A = this chain, B = another copy of it.
């Protein structure tokens, strides 16, 4: 039995970022760039107006005032055809190139055109100095410049920048493909009313949602009975993916066939059992296909154990495959809202509720009945980490909490 930290290190050592793949920019949200992206343009491509109004020569103004002759109107998508001389103005739209000779743009609200002399514009804006309301060419992006370095996480802003520099496809660490397989003769699908000794399979839909939540492409393989031939075929399918998450079948029971079948298919065990509660029986191994690997997680069948092991271990592996360093569970330092007695040698992750108290958040362990009690977890926002060993915690004691 190894420690949580050792388990995480062993997973990290096996989970290398996936081979970079070209995908559509519109599909790239949440992935990580596997190339330096350069700009193929200057942005703005020309000195451009930042306001709707008139391009002028700043030096034409006297205490902010002047009456100027309108020589041209440039709307969006058009370019000026006339250079501006002293005494002249060009009507211009936000984003349009300013004409040669212009040194400032006066916003439309500071100008008046009289009905009886529509060729003249009166300016009144004491704030105008050279450069005002003009964005110089290449201020935002320069041709050839690396605008997004390899390793950048693609957020909506980066999707905007990629589009601005002409990218419709981009090389990224792809989303890992992840198979979920639930094992056990006692399981039936949620639509079936379970008979004696039978339970509904809540882990399949839950683990699929957890995987989807952290950016994996999920393939749900359904329920595998404790039958060698059937399980073998499903495991073979699962090993076609980057990650195979099994639930059930890794404890020490008579019919826990999973470790044997995995060994038969050359999945090498990395560890089995971690000193943690819930989740002790977790199994982790790797199938090396030569050109790629499949990471195999055997999670305990009890739903809370499965849920916790996914958040703690599988989630970190998915983050590593995606090339993201920000995807392990977030931890907060917080204080206990009530006394709590921890017993046992294993470190425990105990479900708890965050409570806002004045300007800080404190945590209150929920009334939880153990690893088969998923029902109570709808009241939980965090898992409190209690180190191994018997200890009575007092109200206000500081604890670490992992945010669900």
A residues with CB within 8 A of B: 25-26, 29, 39-41, 43-46, 48, 50, 52, 73-79, 91, 93-97, 108-109, 135, 139-141, 147-148, 152, 155-168, 184-187, 190-194, 196-210, 212-213, 226, 251-256, 301-303, 307, 369-378, 380, 404
Q: When the two chains form the complex, which single residue of B40, B48, B194, B303 contacts A160, counting CB atoms closer than 8 Å?
A: B303
Min distance, Cβ A311 to any Cβ of chain B, angstroms? 9
Most B CB contacts (10 A, CB to CB) among A39, A52, A108 go to A52
The answer for the CA separation of A212 and B167 in the assembled complex, in Å, is: 19
Q: Which residues of chain B are near A46, meaning CB under 8 Å?
A: 196-197
Q: Which residues of chain B are near A196, meaning CB under 8 Å?
A: 45-46, 79, 97
Contact B301 A95 (CB under 8 A): yes
The answer for the CA separation of A172 and B210 in the assembled complex, in Å, is: 19
Min distance, Cβ A111 to any Cβ of chain B, angstroms? 11
Q: Which residues of chain B are near A78, meaning CB under 8 Å?
A: 185, 197
Q: Which residues of chain B are near A157, meaning CB under 8 Å?
A: 206, 307, 374, 377-378, 380, 404
The answer for the CA separation of A192 and B163 in the assembled complex, in Å, is: 10
Contact A160 B205 (CB under 8 A): yes
Contact B76 A255 (CB under 8 A): yes
Known: A159-B206, A164-B200, A190-B168. A253 touches B76 (CB 8 A): yes
Contact A93 B135 (CB under 8 A): no
Known: A191-B168, A369-B135, A369-B139. A109 touches B252 (CB 8 A): yes
Contact B167 A190 (CB under 8 A): yes
Known: A156-B213, A369-B140. A375 touches B147 (CB 8 A): yes
Known: A79-B197, A184-B77. A163 touches B206 (CB 8 A): yes
Contact A76 B185 (CB under 8 A): yes
The 10 closest A-B pairs by CB, nearest first: A160-B206, A77-B185, A156-B209, A77-B186, A76-B186, A140-B373, A140-B375, A164-B202, A163-B190, A163-B202
Q: Which residues of chain B are near A39, meaning CB under 8 Å?
A: 375
Min distance, Cβ A170 to any Cβ of chain B, angstroms? 11
Q: Which residues of chain B are near A208, meaning CB under 8 Å?
A: 26, 159
Of all chain B residues, which has the CB nearest A92? B253
Q: Which residues of chain B are near A161, meaning CB under 8 Å?
A: 202, 374-375, 377-378
Most B CB contacts (10 A, CB to CB) among A43, A160, A207, A374 go to A160
Q: When the two chains form the complex, which single residue of B163, B185, B198 contacts A200, counting CB atoms closer than 8 Å?
A: B163
Of all chain B residues, which has the CB nearest A141? B375
Q: Which residues of chain B are near A203, meaning CB under 8 Å?
A: 160
Q: Which residues of chain B are near A191, meaning CB under 8 Å?
A: 166, 168
Known: A160-B205, A255-B76, A372-B135. A29 touches B378 (CB 8 A): no
